[in-house]
Structure 1
Amino acid sequence: MTCVAIVIAVGAVLVLMGARKIKARQETARAALALLEAELEHRREVIPELVRAAVAADLDRASINQLVGARSWSSVVRENDFDLPRRASAENTLSAALYEVIWSAPGATWEFRRPADELDTIEQRIVGAVRVYNTHADALVRLSRSPLTALSARLAGVEAPDLFVDSVALDAVRTRVPA
């Protein structure tokens, strides 16, 4: 009788420990996603300044129009709460269009280089934020599917989150977005 009680107590402790671990990982993943969202929003705010400078520098209008269209598409996808893989696809398209404009003007004026350099730094922070989020989300997925913690995840009501990964083939990212 006491052996059964000990086994039940140990099992309950393990389930509670698993639930705490899963909840902590879930909070970390939420914080990482909030960081990613903040960086994506910061990029959306700086792009119009780059567009104005690119127009003033008389850069390729097709590239500028693609950037404006990609930014609009990214905003539509975000505002309509699409799933993370679709949002990642829209954000990757925006990044590709952004770099097409930035790389088209290697000797541009300071008015162009300043927002271009700022956006390059933001892009690097976005890449880091995506890595951090995907690392924590993947760990949460593994915890929710592990035989040792799956019961804890179900009891805590934790669902495995989507990763922020582009579901479109990489060569399709470079296609032009209608303006």
Structure 2
Amino acid sequence: MTWVNGHKKLLFCLAVFMIIMMPASAQASQTSGYDQIQMENYPIARRNGVFVDPGATIAVGISADKNNIFASIDFGPWYVNYPWPFNYWYGYDYHSGYQLIIADQILDFTIQDNGNGNKFSVISAGKNIGSGTFSQYYGDTAWQFNLDLKKIKKIIGMDIPENAQLSLQNANLYQGAATISYAG
């Protein structure tokens, strides 16, 4: 019995230690980045004359920390037969139409191939506000980009309030908007 009771005490002490050492909650500024993005599927935007499987979706997700907003968009395996997304994508224009909505302020932006392989720039109001990369793997085309919050604040002319809703949408590509609360 002594051996079992000793192990119970040890396990109890380890559990208490872990509870004390782990933070009760984590703010976005401590845990964000591409690895923190929660992807969700959104129905693809329909285009006249462009056939897309009725069940086709695009996975979109965003996260934020005190310096950046991180976004990831995955077009899935139904995109095939074209070497890079910046050349042609079944009649869709995925360079433009992006909107970042911050506490009811709308920031329009585009992505621009910068001639550096799979890298691109994010442009708003004629200014570079971020950068990203795209990839293609067996017909699955995806890209990720970050937006510099300091540059965004200058363009929209305001600080971003704590717990403000941040939404990313592009009606050219998908229906709906990926939304998070900004922890500051």
Using the size of structure 1 for normalisation, the TM-score is 0.27
Larger RCO (CA under 8 A, 6+ residues apart): 1
Larger radius of gyration: 1
The structure with more strand, counted as a fraction of residues: 2
